[in-house]
Amino acid sequence: MLSFGFEEDVELILENLPTKRQSMLFSATMPIWVKKLARKYLDDSIAIDLVGDQEEKLAEGIKLYAISTTSTSKRSMLSDLVTVYAKGGKTIVFTQTKRDADEVSISLSNSIASEALHGDISQHQRERTLNGFRQGKFTVLVATDVASRGLDIPNVDLVIHYELPNDSETFVHRSGRTGRAGKLGTTILLFSNSQRRSVRSIERDVGCRFEFVGSPGIQEVLESSAEHVVATLRGVHPESAECFMQTAEKLLEEQGTKALASALAHLSGFTQPPSSRSLISHEKGSVTLQLTRDPNYARGFLSPRSVTGFLSDVYPTAADEVGKIYVIADEKVQGAVFDLPEEIAKELLKMQLPPGNVISKITKLPALQDDGPVGDNYGRFSSRDRSTRGGSRGQRSFRPPQRGGGRDFDDDDFGRRGGRSQSRSSGSSWGMGGRRSSSESSNRDSGSSWGMGGRRSSSESSNRDRSFGGSCFSCGQSGHRASECPSRGGY
């Protein structure tokens, strides 16, 4: 409370207290400013540390999940997260701004009862909102960090970080709204690809570990909705149920269990058939598919570009419409997941695939490789590579092949080579548009290359060479590529 502008009020209270007294200061964390306040207001104080040397700064009963989202998908995903993870209990959604708190609350109110709480709301209205939340008059409180400290709200089942907190201390205070007094709770952190480093920093600072999961699938939402409705029906007073017994018996006689199923669907909010949803982006009308292949039938690494190339050969329409592609993290499985519009996905699943390849529809995302954002070179390049990649898009650096023989270059090789794979032998590789070339080594000698659309252009290579602003991989000098380095006499 002191850090939110109430210090003068606290000092006024202290001035009017008896001189002879015992004072206690409670804080979930102990940053420097809290220690200074203790020295200012307390005499001969004794510190009682309930955390000690534990690296974990959160209560043991809090489950931590992290979900990668986009600015458009997380708002549509929010109601499903509340349905699946809160299971009818109380939820606090934390936003960064007052405007977001209002907008998110209004958006949620279409399906779930919610209210907003932030600094622009009067004290009287704040008290009414908090009392309504405590009493269960609505189940979702959308708030700024004004609700992260100093509020005693029992039985909060779920905390959602709609926006990342400014620091790890705020994350601890926000998450501490759930899992209180030894009870269980759940915290979900929504983040974008550009915020992955911040998520890792929170893990290091707080001493916690997130479970990275995908957005809830439609089947999870349906099952959770049904469970919530059943729990609500059990709370109906028997005398009230008796008033509808005659109608219920008539419906059962006419429609059987279909009448009960229709009632459950209506109470769950699914009066129309639910549309498919992407497990990656949560976009409605999209389906997430998984491609796995037998390593005995294909050489090289599986990458987003090789997946696009594969789809281009099997079903070109799918290659044109494919969404985000992620490679599966399990080293024992050579596979990837990707999004397609529902109708195109149905057609692709009917296609005859090359031997050793399997495409299937999935209901839960496997563990996926961490694909950092564009320009986020963490853990991928040396310091010299980072410096050459830090400029404009036209500045590219690349490294010579690490293996002999033909192979499919991975995604990073493609990015560094400006869209062309420089295989030394007759091995094939996938172009940006998914078209395959078996003679790229000769193309390199003749000055032609594969463009972004997969079409070969002799002028594109010369234009790129004239505008090359990166550094040579061999000598470190700017203005020429490693293949033209004077110190090596050609590449």
User: Which tens digit of pLDDT belongs to each residue from 450-490?
Assistant: 333 333 444 444 444 444 445 554 555 666 655 566 655 43
What is the pLDDT, as a whole number, of residue 12? 85
The residues, any chain, with a CB within 8 Å of residue 485's CB and separated by 6 or more, are 472, 474, 475, 491
Q: Is the pTM of this model over 0.95?
A: no
User: Which tens digit of pLDDT belongs to each residue from 279-308?
Assistant: 887 888 889 999 998 888 766 678 899 999
What is the pLDDT, as a whole number, of residue 10? 78
Q: How far apart are CA 263 and CA 259, in angstroms?
A: 6
pLDDT band for position 84 (cuts 50, 70, 90): very high
User: Which tens digit of pLDDT belongs to each residue from 107-138?
Assistant: 898 888 999 999 888 888 988 999 999 998 99
pLDDT band for position 387 (cuts 50, 70, 90): very low
User: Which tens digit of pLDDT belongs to each residue from 212-246?
Assistant: 888 888 888 889 999 989 988 988 999 999 999 99
Residue 398's Cβ-side half-sphere holds a number of Cα atoms within 13 Å equal to: 26
- Would you say how long the chain is, in residues? 491
Q: How far apart are CA 135 and CA 120, in angstroms?
A: 23
pLDDT band for position 374 (cuts 50, 70, 90): very low
Mean pLDDT of 272-279: 83
Q: How far apart are CA 317 and CA 347, in angstroms?
A: 10
User: Which tens digit of pLDDT belongs to each residue from 340-363?
Assistant: 999 999 999 999 999 989 999 988
Quick check: 204 pLDDT over 50?
A: yes
Inter-CA distances, 18 with 26, 45, 333, 345, Å: 20, 18, 70, 74
Q: Is the dihedral of CA 141, 143, 145, 149 positive or negative?
A: negative
Quick check: 210 pLDDT over 90?
A: yes
